[in-house]
Structure 1
Amino acid sequence: MNLRERDAAVRRMLERTPPPVPPDLYPEVLRRGTRILRRRTAARRLLWITLLAAALAFAIWASLTRPWAEPPSTTTPPISGW
């Protein structure tokens, strides 16, 4: 099938009248779409809550353990009696 044949086939399909849509299709689609939107919204909220909880847990851990501070050296004994 070359380009002209495909073009002619597409034109024939577009010139036909579309098939009738069942009358009960719209409420079903609306119900499913609403359900999908609710699930996406709930998943997005759960993701943000999880992200914020992880950031808060990291901030608390970092403030308590201070991983950026160098630990005190234990290889040399303390100097006393000077």
Structure 2
Amino acid sequence: MSRADREAAARRIMERTPPPVPPELHREAVRRGTRLLRRRRVALRVMWLVLLAAAVAFTVWALTVRPWVEPPSVTTPPLTGW
């Protein structure tokens, strides 16, 4: 089959009138799409809420533990009785 024949066959397939769509199919597609969008919106909100909670927890931990402060040295005994 040559390229021209393949193009002609593809054009014939695309130019055919599509079969009529049942009305209940449209309603079902809209219902599923609405449900999918609602689930996606809820998932995004939950993700942002978890991210915010993690940021708050990290901030509270950092302020209480203060990991940037060097711990006191315990290798040398304190000098007393001079």
Task: State the TM-score, normalizing by the size of structure 2.
Answer: 0.89
Following superposition, the deviation at residue 34 of structure 1 comes to 0.6
| Secondary structure at the counterpart of residue 5 of structure 2 | helix
CA distance in 1, matches of 2:4, 2:81: 101
CA distance in 2, matches of 1:71, 1:51: 30
Runs of 4+ in 1 over 2 A off after TM superposition: 1-6, 79-82
1:38 and 2:38 are equivalent in the alignment? yes
Query: What residue ranges of structure 2 are gaps of 5+ in the alignment?
Result: none
CA distance in 2, matches of 1:38, 1:6: 43
1:63 and 2:53 are equivalent in the alignment? no
Comparing 4-13 and 39-48, the one that deviates more? 4-13
CA distance in 1, matches of 2:37, 2:45: 12
Q: Which residue of 1 aligns with 2:17?
A: 17
Q: Which residue of 1 aligns with 2:6?
A: 6
Say how many residue pairs are matched: 82
CA distance in 1, matches of 2:10, 2:55: 54
Following superposition, the deviation at residue 2 of structure 1 comes to 4.7
Instruction: Deviation per CA, 1:21-74: give whole Å up to 9, x if none.
Output: 111111111111110011000000000000000010000001100111110001
| Secondary structure at the counterpart of residue 24 of structure 1 | helix
Task: State the TM-score, normalizing by the size of structure 1.
Answer: 0.89
